Amino acid sequence: MLAYAVKRIGLGLLILVLVMVAMYAAVFLVPGDPASVALGPRATPELKRLLIERMGLDQPVWWQIVEFFRNALTGNLGYDVWSNRPVSTLVMEALPNTLILGLTALAVALLIGVPLGCLSVMRRGTLADAVIGVLSVGVIAVPSFVVAIYSLLLFAVTLRWLPAIGAGEAGDIASQARALVLPAAAIALGWIGYIARMVRASMMEVMGEPHIRTARSFGLPEWKIVSKYALRIAIIPTISLVAVGLGSILSSAVFVEAVFARPGIGKLITDAVNTRNYPVVMGTVLIMTAIYVSITIAADLLIARLDPRVRDVFRG
């Protein structure tokens, strides 16, 4: 198990390096000079040179990458070109908002999606199963920003139940929670459908396996068979799906943050790209990739923990 964890973490670090190399290559390959784009057509050559130096763009690309990682290891992700504030501070300010949004959405999706999937299996072939099936496909088909816009119109503008924009008053948990409801629901809705479908599909397969018949032959109650004997196996594909899907949850957070004008990573990265603020883009991408890679590793370790057969494959 330990060797497996070390191997997965090593692989994760390699992915981080590759992503950053690709990012630098993209900046290098994109035509046009970032400094003149950023400063506009009327900038003096003097000013341009200064900006190029500050962004470190006069150095060879490989050197820029080495410097970036050398600094990143000491916790220095560079400085915002415009405000000169450390990128790490900017990211750390924005990150909690996005993580709270993404994780709340995910938790809601799991808490509703998994039981719905189980219910579908226990009532298979009935009206309840059919309704859950149709609704699942329905909510998967609607993009989260559409849900965001319409729920904003309905609950914030027309009914005035919930705030329309922002992340709530600082220090006021109740107001922050109220501000979280609509954006989290917008992201979670589609995922409830995904997870319910996924759980139902893998559960149906597991329920046909002989060991379920064994559990039945000992007269175990159906809820126990579903929740203990089948779910522990059937949840595994869902964990993989959710881990991979977290990337897409975080990217839908970008849209949803835009709709609800919530401060967060999404807003940070959109603004940075628009102003060619490369240090901020690079720093943010590094942190997001690191989060994504850690979640994938955590999911793999969780699967190994749930399924002894997977554990043994990596033990040898």
Partner 1 sequence: MTGALAARDLSVRYETQHGSVHALRHVDIEAHPGEVIGIVGESGCGKSTLVTALANLLPANARIDGCISWNGVDLAKLDAHRQRLLRGDEIALVSQDPMTAFNPVLTIGDQLVDFQHHRKDIGRARKRARIAAMLGRVGISDAERRMQSYPHELSGGMRQRVAIAAALLTDPGLLIADEPTTALDVTMEAQIIHLLRELRREYNGIIIVVSHHLGVIAELCDRVYVMYAGEVVEGGEVDAIFHDARHPYTQALLACDPARFHERLDRLPTIPGVLPNLTAPPCGCVYAPRCDRAFAPCGTIAPPLVKLSASHVARCHAVTP
Q: Should residue 220 be labelled a site residue for partner 1 when binding is judged by CB under 8 A? A: yes
Q: Should residue 228 be labelled a site residue for partner 1 when binding is judged by CB under 8 A? A: yes
Among 229, 260, 278, 292, binds partner 1 (CB under 8 A): 229
Among 221, 271, 273, 294, binds partner 1 (CB under 8 A): 221
Residue number with CB closer to partner 1 (85 or 211): 211
Among 173, 210, 274, 316, binds partner 1 (CB under 8 A): 210
Rg (CA), the chain: 24
Q: Which span (110-118, 169-177, 224-232, 248-256) binds partner 1, by CB under 8 A?
A: 224-232
Among 214, 223, 244, 298, binds partner 1 (CB under 8 A): 214
Q: Should residue 216 be labelled a site residue for partner 1 when binding is judged by CB under 8 A? A: yes
Q: Which span (1-9, 135-143, 207-215, 256-264) binds partner 1, by CB under 8 A?
A: 207-215
CA distance 280 to 91: 8
The least CB distance from residue 269 to partner 1, in Å, is: 40
Q: Should residue 315 be labelled a site residue for partner 1 when binding is judged by CB under 8 A? A: no
Residue number with CB closer to partner 1 (220 or 285): 220
Largest CA distance in the chain: 84
Q: Should residue 307 be labelled a site residue for partner 1 when binding is judged by CB under 8 A? A: yes
Establish how many alpha carbons lie within 13 A of residue 164's alpha carbon, considering only the half-sphere containing its beta carbon: 10
The least CB distance from residue 229 to partner 1, in Å, is: 5
242, amino acid identity: V
Size of the site for partner 1 (CB under 8 A): 22
Q: Where along the sequence are the contacts to partner 1 (CB under 8 A)?
A: 209-211, 213-221, 224, 228-229, 232-233, 306-309, 312
